[in-house]
Amino acid sequence: MTQTMGCYMYIAHFHDEKRAPRLHHGGSMLNGFTVQATVIMLPAISRVFNIPPSRQQMIMLTYSVASGSSMLLWGRIADVHGRWGVFLAGTTLFAIFTLLIPFAPSELFLYMLSGLQGFSSAATVPSGIGILASMFQPGPDRNRAYVALVASSSVDSVFGNIAGGAIGGLLSWRWGFWIPAGLAAIIALSACILWPRRSRFSSSSQTGGSTHHRDQSVDYIGGLLISTSLALLQVGLSQGNVEGWVNFHVPSLICASVILGVIFATLQLRMERSPDKHPLVRLSMFKNVSFSAAFLVVACFFGSFNSFLVFASMFFQDILKPSMLKTTLYFLPGGIIGGLVCFLVTPALSLFRGFYMLMFGFICSIISPLLFALLMGSQGGSVVFNYWVRGFPAMCLCLSAEVVWPVIGLYVARGVAEADQSLAGALLQAANHIGRGLGMALAAAAQVIVSRSSHSLLLGIQAAQWTNVGMATLSLLCTLIFFRGLDTS
């Protein structure tokens, strides 16, 4: 899979012994790229498997649930047993399951393979972040490598839309899985070749794990509890809009998720007090209010950002109804601008306070959905929409993720020990996934309620975008309260 130019331009000047970070940039973007590409190809996939509209989102749901719910466990396994091994296993399994998806004999097998694909993808992100931490000493080099890793968030999502439309329009939806599978296999093979004998800046052995964790174990019971809790939460949130929030099993899923989450937190606190036990997550790190607020900011921001892209795609496909290739062109400015911004994020972090960069990013994230929320409606039976006045600037302002994600990511990475860098990356990704699920649930609920009451899909999409404006605004308010003192890197 292609990676953002900004990521590689910095990494390319490293000596041979530092080539490995390129792999983790490639591995980390498998998640966002694959999800957004699949969104564009959903209609074609649904026609082949005779999936009704009410179940189309199950393809995305199984992937997202499996990926988001397992990241914490993968992060801890990477820190304890070796980051390189986890990364290699994740990319290899991802290549296999992605290759098999087009050969699924039925709808059920399609969902199963999609879930396994998400589970394997979850292993690549925290392990990649942990490997970068072990290869670079704290300082400018690590900051630049870390920013290169996370600064391409919106580009991966936007290029996923573009690639999905281009592949689906020129080839077939099956190539939308075979091409990523082939490139994931190349990444896995490269990881085998570049697997270092020892870590450069830590006393880790060839596995890339942390010496601090060598005598520790993985809390698999805690991992099972939190993974199940997160999975139930995401399923409950997504099914609420499909089957209705008053349906008995929807609130039951959410309640079960909360109960399991409370049990997990209780066990982790008890284990943390015991010197001979090692919890999956040390909850004491969340005593820092600003540190905890960072995860709320991430959840709200990506809830808005992801939902904006989904409902913008819905507006283009279901209201304007252009060809699939033309739909991809609508998203192209976001990918181009985001790629250019990748070059600027690293120097900007050393010139401007993190607080100002966050404020700039959140203002951009508010304006993007606002331009769609303020659509003028229809005239003479056709929708009044000037792409160059509304769509083009909205797509360009998708650069917000390029700015917000690196600043928050660096802040969180500095707040945890060297031995827990993979876990920190997993925590951020978990907040990202929960935010996306909750954001989609809220925006979809607004869209369904307004569409049914007004019998207008356009008004429903506008309501969803107003919801996205609200979530982005909440991120901005949290920044004003908790991150006013955030300085330069």
406-453 pLDDT, tens digit each: 888 888 877 777 666 667 777 888 888 788 878 887 888 888 888 877
Asked if 200 and 246 count as a contact pair (C-beta separation under 8 A), the reply is no
**Residue 430 pLDDT:** 81
Is residue 370 within 8 Å of residue 427, measured between CB atoms?
A: no
Q: Please name the residue that has the structure tokens 């901005």.
A: 476
What is the fold, at CATH topology level, of the domain defined by 15-199+280-482? Growth Hormone; Chain: A; (1.20.1250)
Q: Report whether 298 contacts 478 (CB < 8 A).
A: no
Which residues in 95-106 are b (16+ Cβ under 10 Å) and which e? bbbbbbbbebee
Residue 281's pLDDT is what? 78
How far CA 251 is from CA of 17, 79, 106, in Å, comes to 52, 35, 30
Cβ-based neighbours of 222, under 8 Å, separated by 6 or more:
264, 267, 268, 271, 279, 280, 281
Q: Is residue 139 left, alpha or beta, with left meaning phi > 0 and alpha meaning psi from -120 to 50?
A: left
With 0-12 / 13-18 / 19 or more C-beta atoms within 10 angstroms meaning exposed / middle / buried, residue 174 is: middle
Q: What angle do CA 53, 56, 60 make, to 5 degrees?
A: 155
**Predicted pLDDT of residue 4:** 35
Give me the phi and psi of 303, to 5 degrees please: -60, -45
Cα dihedral sign, 431-472-397-148: negative
pLDDT number for residue 476: 94
Residue 259's identity, in one-letter code, is I
Around Cβ 47, how many Cβ atoms within 10 Å? Answer: 10
pLDDT along the chain (489 residues), means of 10: 37 42 54 68 80 70 78 80 83 90 87 87 79 70 67 59 68 82 84 63 44 61 84 76 70 88 88 79 81 90 89 84 76 80 79 88 94 71 78 90 85 73 76 82 83 81 92 93 76
Q: Please answer whether residues 123 and 310 qualify as being in contact, where contact means their C-beta atoms are separated by less than 8 angstroms.
A: no
Phi, psi of 383 (to 5 degrees): -75, 135
36-145-37 Cα angle (round to 5): 10
| Structure-block tokens of residue 218 | 């993985």
- Report d(CA 231, CA 61) in Å as an integer: 10
